[in-house]
Chain A
C-alpha cells in the first residue's frame, strides 16, 4: 500500500509534477531505514538534498558603511579645490586689453629710465675729468711733500751753524 503510493510519487517526481508536500513525503520515506530494494539508488539523492539544506553561512558581514562614505567625499573635495585653482585664474585674471595697457605702461617707464641712465652716464664722464684733476692735485701734493723734506734738511743745516 505504502510502497504503491511511493512508486506513484516517484513516477510523478521524475516528471517534475510533484507538489512540495509530496516531495516532503518522499524525503521522509527515504530517510527511514526500510526502503524497498528497487528504490535503494534513490536514497543517496534524497539524503543529499536534505543534508545540504543543513549547511549554514557563518561568516560575519561588516555593515558599517558610514566611515567609508566620508572618505569618499574627501577625495571629491580635494579635486574640487584643485579644479578651482586651475579654472578661476583664467576667468577672473586680466583680459587681453589690460595686458596690452600694462605692456605700454612698462615700455614708457623703461624709456624714462633709459633717459635717466643716459644722463647718469654723462655725469659719469664729467666725474672722470674731475678724477684727472684730483690726480694732478695728488702729484702736486707729492711734490710739495718733497719740498717740505727739502726745507727740513735746510733747517737742520741752519741749526748746526
Chain B
C-alpha cells in the first residue's frame, strides 16, 4: 500500500479517532499525540490493513485501548485536567450564545461519566455509529451497550436539569 492510498483510507475517520481520544484523555495535546501514534501504528501495519474488513472499526478499537492504556500508565499523571480548548462553531444565533455556558456544562458532565459510558456516548451520540458497529468495536453485546447508553443519557439529563434549574428551585 502506498502512502497516498493509506492517507485516503485514513482521512475519513482520523477526526473520529481524534475526538474519541480527546473524549477520553480530555487534553487536546494528549489527544493529538495519541492520534498521531495510532495513525503511525496503522501505517506500520499497512500490509496487514488490506486484510481487515472494516479498518475504521478496527482503528476505533485501537484508539479505545490505546487511550485506556494511557490513562492507566504513569504518563497519565502528567495529564492536563484543566483545559480551555473549546471553539463554539454554532454561535451564530443569540440564543445559542446564551446556551454556550450550558453547552460547556455538558462536556464537564461527560468528563465525570465512567469511561465505558463516555466511549459509548461518544460513538453513538456524536459519531453516530449504529449499535452493531459499536458492539464490534467494543467487543460487547448490543443490549449491554443500550443499557450503558441509557444510563449515561440519564446521568447527563439529570445533571443538566439540576444546573438548569439551579437558583430557581
Contacts and interface: CB of A to CB of B under 8 A. Distances in A.
Contact of A53 (B22, B43, B127): B127
B24 interface: no
Nearest to B150: A16
Given A14-B150, A16-B150, A48-B103, A41 B18 contact: no
Contact of A65 (B7, B44, B93, B99): B44
B153 A47 contact: no
Interface string A30-67: 00010000001111110111111111110101110100
A49 B126 contact: yes
Contacts of A135: none
Question: What class of interface size applies to chain A in its complex with B?
Answer: 20 to 34
A23 B105 contact: no
A15 interface: yes
Given A41-B157, A61-B39, A52 B126 contact: yes
A63 B156 contact: no
Interface string B67-102: 000000000000000000001111001011001001
Contacts of A14: 150, 153-154, 157
A42 B105 CA distance: 12
Interface in A111-149: none
A13 B88 CA distance: 25
B19 A55 contact: yes
B156 A45 contact: yes
B96 A47 contact: yes
A88 B126 CA distance: 64
A64 to B, nearest CB: 8
Interface in B41-87: 43-44, 87
Interface of B: 3, 6-7, 14-15, 17-19, 22, 32, 35-36, 39-40, 43-44, 87-90, 93, 95-96, 99, 102-103, 105-107, 125-128, 130, 145-147, 149-150, 153-154, 156-157, 160-161, 164-165
